[in-house]
Amino acid sequence: MKIRLSVFIVAILITTGCSHIGLKSGPDQSNTGKTESLYNKFIEGNSPNIAQLNLFFSQMPKGGDIHHHYSGSIYAENYLDWVEAADCRIDKNTLKIVKAADVKDSTCCLSVKQLRSDLELYSKLLTIWSDKDYRNHYHQQLPPDLNFFSTFSYFGPISKNHKEGLMILKDQAIGENVSYIETMISSVGYSYQDNSFDENAKKATSPEAVVRLLDELTLKIKADDKFLKKINDFIGEIESAHRGIDDDRFMMRYQVYASRNATPSAVFSSLYAAFLADDKFNLLVGVNLVGPENGLVALADYNLHMQMISYLRDKFPNVNVALHAGELTLGMVPPKDLKFHISQAIHIARVQRIGHGVDLPYEEGALELLQKIKEKSVVEINLTSNEFILGVKDNEHPYLIYSAYDIPLVISTDDSGVSRNNLSGEYVLLAKRYKPGYKTVKKYVFNSIKHSFLSQNEKVLLTNSLDARFAKFEAEMARYYDLLQE
Answer whether 231's CB lies under 8 Å from 273's CB.
yes
**Closest CB to Zn ion among residues 194, 414:** 414
Answer whether 444's CB lies under 8 Å from 409's CB.
yes
Q: How far is CA 152 from CA 159, 259, 351, in A?
A: 9, 13, 26
**Closest CB to Zn ion among residues 68, 442:** 68
Answer whether 374's CB lies under 8 Å from 407's CB.
yes
CB of 239 to Zn ion, least distance (A): 25
CA atoms within 13 A on the CB side of 256: 29
CB of 383 to Zn ion, least distance (A): 13
CB of 332 to Zn ion, least distance (A): 16
**Closest CB to Zn ion among residues 415, 474:** 415
CB of 298 to Zn ion, least distance (A): 13
Candidate segments 89-97, 232-240, 408-416, 475-483, binder of Zn ion by CB under 5 A = 408-416
Task: Using CB positions, name the residue nearest to Zn ion.
Answer: 414
**Closest CB to Zn ion among residues 72, 264:** 72
Answer whether 414's CB lies under 8 Å from 149's CB.
no
Angle made by CA atoms 257, 263, 265, in degrees to the nearest 5: 75
CA 185 from chain centre, in angstroms, equals: 12
**Closest CB to Zn ion among residues 66, 431:** 66
Strands 178-186, 63-69: pairing is: parallel
3-class secondary structure per residue, 100-113: HHHCCCCCCEECHH
Each residue 157-186 as x (binds Zn ion by CB under 5 A) or -, in order, gives ------------------------------
CB of 380 to Zn ion, least distance (A): 8
**Closest CB to Zn ion among residues 301, 414:** 414
Candidate segments 192-200, 230-238, 239-247, 406-414, binder of Zn ion by CB under 5 A = 406-414
**Closest CB to Zn ion among residues 67, 459:** 67
Binds Zn ion by CB under 5 A, chosen from 182, 414, 426, 474: 414
| Element at 92 (helix H, strand E) | none
Integer distance in angstroms from the first to the last C-alpha of the chain?
Answer: 26
CB of 450 to Zn ion, least distance (A): 20
**Closest CB to Zn ion among residues 52, 159:** 159
**Closest CB to Zn ion among residues 210, 271:** 271
Task: Give phi and psi for 204, each to the nearest 5.
Answer: -60, 135
| Size of interface with Zn ion, in residues (CB under 5 A) | 1
**Closest CB to Zn ion among residues 359, 414:** 414
Candidate segments 8-16, 218-226, 372-380, 414-422, binder of Zn ion by CB under 5 A = 414-422
Angle between helix 302-315 and helix 207-222 axes, rounded to 10 deg? 60
CB of 355 to Zn ion, least distance (A): 5
Candidate segments 11-19, 170-178, 269-277, 412-420, binder of Zn ion by CB under 5 A = 412-420
CB of 324 to Zn ion, least distance (A): 5
- DSSP conformation letters of 211-257: HHHHHHHHHHHHT-HHHHHHHHHHHHHHHHHHTTT-SSS-EEEEEEE
Answer yes or no whether residue 337 interacts with Zn ion by CB under 5 A: no
How many Cβ atoms sit within 10 Å of the Cβ of residue 99? Answer: 11
| Element at 282 (helix H, strand E) | none
Candidate segments 204-212, 338-346, 413-421, 438-446, binder of Zn ion by CB under 5 A = 413-421
**Alpha carbons 462 and 180: distance in angstroms, whole number:** 8
**Alpha carbons 214 and 203: distance in angstroms, whole number:** 13
Candidate segments 7-15, 25-33, 212-220, 410-418, binder of Zn ion by CB under 5 A = 410-418
CB of 140 to Zn ion, least distance (A): 26
CB of 268 to Zn ion, least distance (A): 21
**Closest CB to Zn ion among residues 35, 288:** 288
CB of 166 to Zn ion, least distance (A): 18
**Closest CB to Zn ion among residues 149, 250:** 149
CB of 455 to Zn ion, least distance (A): 24
How many Cβ atoms sit within 10 Å of the Cβ of residue 283? Answer: 16
In the region spanning residues 27 to 86, those forming contacts with Zn ion, defined by CB under 5 A, are: none
**Alpha carbons 71 and 79: distance in angstroms, whole number:** 10
- DSSP conformation letters of 12-55: HHHHH-S-TT-----S--SHHHHHHHHHHHHH-SSS--HHHHHH
CB of 184 to Zn ion, least distance (A): 7
Q: Torsion-angle region of residue 350: left (phi > 0), alpha (psi -120 to 50) or beta?
A: left
**Closest CB to Zn ion among residues 182, 363:** 182
Each residue 104-143 as x (binds Zn ion by CB under 5 A) or -, in order, gives ----------------------------------------
**Alpha carbons 242 and 253: distance in angstroms, whole number:** 9
Residues that bind Zn ion in the complex, under the rule CB under 5 A? 414
